[in-house]
Structure 1
Amino acid sequence: MSTTAVVKKNTYFDSVSLMSVSTRANQLPDVEQAFVAMGTEMNKGVLSNLGLLTADLRAAGTGDLMIVVEAGEGADQAALLAEVEALLVQKAPGASGADTVTYRTVDSAARGIPGANLAIVAVNGAYAGREARKALENGLHVMVFSDNVPVEEEVRLKQLAHSKGLFMMGPDCGTAIINNVALCFGNAVRPGTVGVVAASGTGAQEVSVRIHALGAGISQLIGTGGRDLSEQVGGIMMIDGIRALAADPGTSVIVLVSKPPAPAVQDKVLAEIADAGKPVVVYFVGGSEEAVTAAGGHFAASTQDAALQAVRLGSDSHAAVEELAAKQVDEVCARLAPEQRYVRGLFCGGTLCDESMYALLEVSDNVWSNIQKDPERRLAAAVPVSGTPSSTSATTTSPTAARTR
């Protein structure tokens, strides 16, 4: 086995493109493992865990592209590296031809595309705020896929968007479904009457696919970015999202999804429920049922519970929904063997890991994880499964290796 690592300075690609490139690179003949990602600390941590972090890769900056190719003995490393680099500039099948106009600035695109009303920003975080501001100033809703945007800049952008009656989804907003069009990471779910506002991408995706599995569909799915319910940001976009869905004739039920919000921000968000005029299901991981109920909302204890309640509230066929949900649970249980002793999880979504851990903690305190608040039950990085405690309780882990942004 031989490994080649290259750092391409000041070469930025968004993580959606790089995940596609990595997938195709790993399918090349003779490639044992390929890793193509920006030089963020998170990605360097992944390489370190894999034993592939060289001194050159460690020195890479957030605007530098890292390419690592691990190949079998005798493989032509130079040729393989050239093939991987070629993938970075290949157009996807069905990509636009020579008659397509390429706009170099947000301003020129806004002028050149009549009727455009939304911009997706996926550039280096150092420049994302500037481009988002240009889009807002041109009257465009914005979805900022980029991360590493200072929270102070996020607040300024969201305040500007609010003042203009626009959405500023993000930063670090990975998914949305607007008018039945999936943006960035979007799931193939049917149209329907359930609207979702979420400060968690994976949480929003999980709720949407569970709603689909229960026979209902999504009217709008508005991502806010993971920091929206922090004390600094104050829930600006979640509140605007609730109000927009409340006014949307195509939405009959609203679902809110977030990791634990700041207490004061949670109170502000829940205060919107009374004026929504529609049922509002609230799934805040580890949230307070008492607070949600007091505000007039419907408390959900999990993504499945949130989906089930949303579908139930928007349907006259309660019995059919309950029967389908019970059938899904039975199908999972049927796959379990009597001798099974452990629950082990490997997650690429923080919300899903949090949700699983909280659910398991309700039945046992012997839950081990790399996100455990109890230091005595915290898993260190790269601990093999065989190294975890021998017990009959559950184990859950959420390594950062699956995160590439």
Structure 2
Amino acid sequence: MVEPALKIPAPVNVVRPNTYVDSVALMRVSGALTALPRVEAASLVMGTPANRRILADAGLLGDEGSRARPNDLLIGLRCPPDAVDEVLAELDRLLRQSWSDPTSEPAAPGGEQPRSLAGVSDGARLALVSTPGPYAAAEALKALRRGMHVFVFSDNVPVEEEVLLKTEAHARGLLVMGPDCGTAVLDGVPLGFANAVRHGRIGLIGASGTGLQQVSTLLHSYGAGVSQVIGVGGRDLSARVGGASMLDALDLLAADPGTDTIVLVSKPPAPDVARAVLARAAGTGKPVVAAFLGADAQEAPGVRMAHTLRGAAEAAVGVRSESTTGTALAPAPAPAPAPGTLTPGIELDVGRTWLRALYAGGTFAYEARQFLVGRDVATGPGPGVPGSPPRLPSRHCVLDLGDDVFTAGRPHPMIEPAVRTPWLAAALRDPSTAVVVVDVVLGHGGADDPAGAVAGVVAAELAALRTAGEQPPVVLGFVVGTPDDPQDLNGQVQALREAGVTVLDSSTTVAESVADILTTIDGGAR
């Protein structure tokens, strides 16, 4: 007998002409709709050609959606036909709530918030751009010409336009953060995804949003604080862009009387760009710590190189302790277990083999891979089709679930943690899985209860395995946040621990522990 093929429901598209919604609101609403009981998938995008291709790849584009224009709001749903009206009603409610957010900036005196840069007062110093990528550069250029620094949250901006913007900004003595910039804290004001961190005298500059969040929150936990957190966009240190914004940000922090120490965070820069950045850093006259993860950059005078995110925070605290008198800083955390030893309380099933690291933060995935050099590690999913259950590779895998290959037609897992749920369930159910890794990122812009989605799946799957008489895989995790973040750091950690997650202090400590576990497995624990 031949089994019938899996039938994926046809998508439902709704197009709302000339309706613009910014990308953050679109991701939040998409996540909320996906969580509805009768909705299998939901995605809200502007109807640009690139977004239509993304929906098509996710199996969420039909005939009506293919005719959407860039200024149209395009809604892609996979749900029963009789649920569509209910979903659209909830969508409208969520959009009204998003636009009337009581935490948003107040309207200008005597009127509504300006709807374009033309309506902004001449005294404004910063513009946040969150439009579809093809239009972001034009809006950013308008802001620069009005004398404003620009935070460009938008992605899919051509690199040629990024170079143009940063050249214009440099000529005007301004700064472009981005494109695809996820994190900044400027004069205490968080932008994008950022944590509630203590004010202090350490300035951070990074081409990595989650890397900046990890370092800033570790500094907070050590008793230190930050003066500014400046994101520059993931391509800034590429050969094409040349580190334009990081160089300008270094000049700004060098001249800032409120900054004593500077920390740089990035994945490996282009070699010539790394040399230029380190030379500029050495010329600031201030102590600088550089964490170029995976790079083989040489130290410059006055620049201390760090090889991990935790190492960057520890080095910055050490520099502050050495260079500042009268400032009490908390001691650095206890060192990680010596190589070859396991984190206390971890028990391995000798029949299990593979690592399944499922990160929401791309930099955490990159840092983890540093500890696995020489091992066969997959960085993408196993074979599958749009709309089908996730398939894990038959080897170790370290996945960035915020990458475009996973988020096509879906919100980012930092905004909607349930996006990771099927991957987590698949990893826990796989009898070959030895170790599962999860990260939970708190702060402004993030989900209200990111640990809740993880804890629910972990608790249910581990209980099912124990009921079946099986020893479950080890589950390691870490939480990026501070007690002042809106999600309640202690409650998030407690929820994970009660579910069966071994929670460690940082992304670095988890990566070190994973390397030790795999060494133990390879050494004959099977």
Q: TM-score range by the shorter chain?
A: 0.7 to 0.9
Equivalent of 2:91 in 84, 98, 120: 84
Pairwise CA distance, 1:198:
0.9
- Which residue of the partner structure matches residue 376 of structure 2? 366
Structure 1: how far apart are the matches of 2:321 and 2:278? Answer: 24
1:274/1:79 Cα in 2 relative to 1: closer, same or farther (>3 Å)?
Answer: closer
Structure 1: how far apart are the matches of 2:141 and 2:333? Answer: 48
**Bigger shift: residues 253-262 or 6-15:** 6-15
- The TM-score with structure 1 as length reference comes to 0.82
Equivalent of 1:398 in 383, 392, 400: 400
Contact 2:207 2:237 in 1 (8 A): yes
- Which residue of the partner structure matches residue 208 of structure 1? 216
**Bigger shift: residues 41-50 or 161-170:** 41-50
Structure 2: how far apart are the matches of 1:307 and 1:209? Answer: 9
Pairwise CA distance, 1:402:
3.9
Which letter maps to 1:102?
Q
Contact 2:278 2:300 in 1 (8 A): no
Pairwise CA distance, 1:270:
1.0
The number of equivalent residue pairs is 384
Pairwise CA distance, 1:109:
0.5
**Bigger shift: residues 239-248 or 338-347:** 338-347
Is residue 2:390 matched to residue 1:388?
Answer: no
Equivalent of 2:175 in 167, 171, 188: 167
Which letter maps to 2:318?
R
Pairwise CA distance, 1:282:
1.0
**How high is the sequence identity, in percent, across the aligned residues?**
42
Contact 2:165 2:176 in 1 (8 A): yes
- Which residue of the partner structure matches residue 303 of structure 2? 297
- Helix, strand or coil for the counterpart of 1:273? helix
Which letter maps to 2:394?
P
- Helix, strand or coil for the counterpart of 2:160? helix
Is residue 2:343 matched to residue 1:336?
Answer: no
Query: CA offsets, 1:61-96, max 9 Å, x none?
Result: 66553323444x695422322321342233344265
- Which residue of the partner structure matches residue 140 of structure 1? 148
Structure 2: how far apart are the matches of 1:107 and 1:150? Answer: 25
Equivalent of 1:353 in 357, 365, 374: 365
Equivalent of 1:277 in 262, 281, 285: 285
Query: CA offsets, 1:83-128, max 9 Å, x none?
Result: 21342233344265795433233133033xxx32111112222222
- Which residue of the partner structure matches residue 107 of structure 1? 118
Which letter maps to 2:133?
G
Contact 1:107 1:138 in 2 (8 A): no
- Helix, strand or coil for the counterpart of 1:88? helix
Which letter maps to 2:393?
T
Which letter maps to 2:117?
V
- Helix, strand or coil for the counterpart of 2:197? coil
Contact 2:46 2:132 in 1 (8 A): no
Pairwise CA distance, 1:181:
0.7
Contact 2:291 2:312 in 1 (8 A): yes
1:385/1:75 Cα in 2 relative to 1: closer, same or farther (>3 Å)?
Answer: closer
Contact 1:259 1:351 in 2 (8 A): yes
1:56/1:321 Cα in 2 relative to 1: closer, same or farther (>3 Å)?
Answer: farther
Contact 2:12 2:62 in 1 (8 A): no
- The TM-score with structure 2 as length reference comes to 0.64
Pairwise CA distance, 1:206:
2.1
Pairwise CA distance, 1:228:
1.3
Which letter maps to 1:83?
E
Structure 2: how far apart are the matches of 1:43 and 1:345? Answer: 28
Contact 2:224 2:329 in 1 (8 A): no
Gaps in structure 1 of 5+ consecutive residues: 371-377
1:53/1:3 Cα in 2 relative to 1: closer, same or farther (>3 Å)?
Answer: closer
Measured on the aligned residues, the alpha-carbon RMSD in Å equals: 3.4
Equivalent of 1:188 in 185, 196, 200: 196
Structure 1: how far apart are the matches of 2:236 and 2:53? Answer: 26
Structure 1: how far apart are the matches of 2:314 and 2:63? Answer: 50
Structure 2: how far apart are the matches of 1:232 and 1:325? Answer: 39
Structure 2: how far apart are the matches of 1:40 and 1:304? Answer: 40
1:281/1:14 Cα in 2 relative to 1: closer, same or farther (>3 Å)?
Answer: same
Contact 1:30 1:75 in 2 (8 A): no
